[in-house]
Structure 1
Amino acid sequence: MGASKIKNMEEFAAKSGISRPTVSKYFNDPGSVRASTRERIEAALKKYDYRPNIYAMNQNRQLTKNIGVVVPYLADPFFAEIARTIERRCIAAGFWPTLFSSHGEQQLENDILDSLRRLKPAGVLLGPLGRASDRNEIEKFCRDVPTVLIDANIDGVGEAFVGLDNFHSIPLMVDYLCRTGEPPCFFEMPPLNPNANKRRDAYKQAMTDLGHEPQVIRVPGDTWDFEQIGFDGGLQVIDGQQNKTNTVLCSNDRLAIGFLAAAYERGIRVGHGKDCALRVAGHDDHPFSRFTCPSLTTVAQNYESISERSVETLLHLIRDGKRGGERIEILFEGKLVMRASA
């Protein structure tokens, strides 16, 4: 352990008495070298306390092992869960994911794309801001780098989109609420990404198909602070008696969490019991939704399947090496999760 610090792979190869190509082969895939050679390399690693610069290795490859992962707002546990599952799948496939959050800011999203170009990633999984994105910048980036969009779809951009089928999940919830009580009004989230308007349109269509009049309630708000928007808007709705029904379908769970807090603030009991005055449902199966009071009825997105398919799709693009074909869209159905709130 008293040996001098090794600065690079060339020095390590010389010190350990193993050829540079063999050392490089080991770091790319330890199982690709003979067991006896692997033991010598690992003994030398321990002796010299050497760790290679993975990013430098990647930059010297024609095809790097870097994968960029970009989400619009990492403080949202929904995106944190998506990023977590994507990260695990990238690592299992032998790639090094680098995670970025654009925090709801267009300029930061553009800066992230510029940074990713310098990293020369093999591909990128991009959850764009959507309506707040600079479409021209994203289109230009996607022409340069194999890119699969997740969560928010921008029509015609990237090689593929993987996400939820809102026109299945929202009608699924509307049908359930209509069968079990009064038809719901729709408490709409700010249209920060394309999912907002798709869910509203899906609600209106589902209500019309069932012979009910849609009632959309839109409250002010243009930030990602959905819980606060749900709370403030919920107080407005309750105090102003804006809802013509005792059932409220929120366009995402974070809005619903805020709405539940507003109902509690006004002393309104939420649930489907005889002593309850209001039913509240959400969408997404946010990681906290099972722990609200009452627990939130919602539609679950399949985090595992969306993450797995998005990584599979990107890896296929990387390994196939063919780009510019027909863009594909892969949509997953939601699953109704019945809990105490509705």
Structure 2
Amino acid sequence: MSDLKIRTMEEFAAVSGISRPTLSKYFNDPASVRKSTRARIEAAIERFGYRPNIYALNQNRKQTRNIGILVPYLADPFFAEMARHVEAVVIAAGYRPILLSSHGDPAQELENLDSLRDIRPAGVLLAPLGRRSDAERVRAFCEEVTTVLFDCSVEGAGEAFVGSDNDQSVGLIVDRLCDTGEPPAFFEMRDPSNPNALKRREAYARAMTRRGLEPMYVRAEGTGWDFEEIGFRGGLEAIARRRLPTDTVLCSNDRLAIGFLAAAYEKGLRVGRGPGCALRVAGHDDHPFARYTCPRLTTVAQDYEAIARKSAETLLSLIRDDSRAASREVALFGGRLVERASA
């Protein structure tokens, strides 16, 4: 094998003496070239140790079988679960899912979008960071690549958006908490990155106002995606400084609620229903760990599978029709109340 490093098909064409179009034809389908040419190519591959970049090859095709899936934070079990369901639909349809995470970093999100451009995907399923996203760059990407957004929307971006009906889900749990005890205060991050948090804040205010009640807010300091730590520290401060205006706390998401439960335990407050309990705590999302907290967390379950399936099927339909949507489709799925021991 030659010590010469061959990085591109152009370099391989130069050293092998075989034209670039012939090489491209061979790597797309070896049987499409003459037997003698195939033998020359394979001998050159053996000599120079060249291996083509499959993604670069796809750039020469009108449409690849790649579908990009970009999530904001793959370490979050919510997005891991969503990605699992999306991948299953994509694979069943005969496409190759390519999963990327932005790790909560706007610069990484843009780098991931550039990487997806390079592989010329048939389409992309995008869950953007949200308020920290570069909205103009996201919209520009969606103009170039058929894209369906899920979980979090960016105004004017993508052929469709699929997510949760926060008004329905938050209203559902506010009503239940009010019917079974004191009205809830809303525990949230002061400056959340994800627009869903703001939508839930607004939905909470509407649900309380509808019942003739004044909204109550308890806000935790902190930014980023370390929600359990933010919930824990914010919960400790709220309890220590007696900032809770009620014995019922509705957390903006389950990860904040998990942190708040730990804070209540550390402060010696029993969470749950019935005699001896000082607080009721509820969340939103039905995080995979919500059923294993102590006590087990009352929450609203997002329909992971329905959101993932609708997102993927919408994108696949656009790809099959080789078309762009006449108008941006929006599909929102309601939540399901999950009552456990915490409230």
TM-score (norm 2): 0.84
2:206 — aligned with what?
Answer: 205
1:200 partner amino acid? R
2:281 — aligned with what?
Answer: 280
1:227 — aligned with what?
Answer: 228
Structure 1 pair 146/246, CA: closer, same or farther in 2 (3 Å)? same
Structure 1 pair 56/151, CA: closer, same or farther in 2 (3 Å)? same
Measured in 1, the distance between the counterparts of 2:132 and 2:28 equals 48
Give how far 1:241 is off.
1.0
Give how far 1:58 is off.
3.5
Structure 1 pair 154/11, CA: closer, same or farther in 2 (3 Å)? closer
Give how far 1:211 is off.
1.3
2:6 — aligned with what?
Answer: none
Identity of aligned residues (%): 62
What SS is found at the alignment partner of 1:304? Answer: helix
Contact 1:9 1:52 in 2 (8 A): no
2:66 — aligned with what?
Answer: 66
Is 1:331 matched up with 2:343? no
1:149 partner amino acid? L
2:15 — aligned with what?
Answer: none
Measured in 1, the distance between the counterparts of 2:56 and 2:115 equals 15
- Picking from 10, 23, 32, the partner of 1:20 is 32
1:116 — aligned with what?
Answer: 116
Measured in 2, the distance between the counterparts of 1:11 and 1:214 equals 63
Structure 2 portions without partners, runs of 5+: 1-22, 34-50
Structure 1 pair 93/332, CA: closer, same or farther in 2 (3 Å)? same
Give how far 1:274 is off.
1.2
What SS is found at the alignment partner of 2:124? Answer: strand
1:248 partner amino acid? V
Aligned length: 303
Is 1:322 matched up with 2:323? yes
Is 1:194 matched up with 2:195? yes
Is 1:89 matched up with 2:89? yes
Measured in 2, the distance between the counterparts of 1:322 and 1:152 equals 23
Measured in 1, the distance between the counterparts of 2:259 and 2:170 equals 20
Give how far 1:126 is off.
0.4
Measured in 2, the distance between the counterparts of 1:261 and 1:339 equals 17
Measured in 1, the distance between the counterparts of 2:181 and 2:64 equals 55
| Root-mean-square deviation (Å) | 2.0
Structure 1 portions without partners, runs of 5+: 1-6, 22-50
Structure 1 pair 74/11, CA: closer, same or farther in 2 (3 Å)? closer
Measured in 2, the distance between the counterparts of 1:274 and 1:142 equals 55
Give how far 1:52 is off.
10
Give how far 1:13 is off.
7.6
2:143 — aligned with what?
Answer: 143
Measured in 1, the distance between the counterparts of 2:139 and 2:112 equals 14
Provide Cα deviations, 1:211-240, integer angstroms capped at 9, x if missing partner.
111101111111110000000000011111
Give how far 1:60 is off.
3.7
1:237 partner amino acid? A
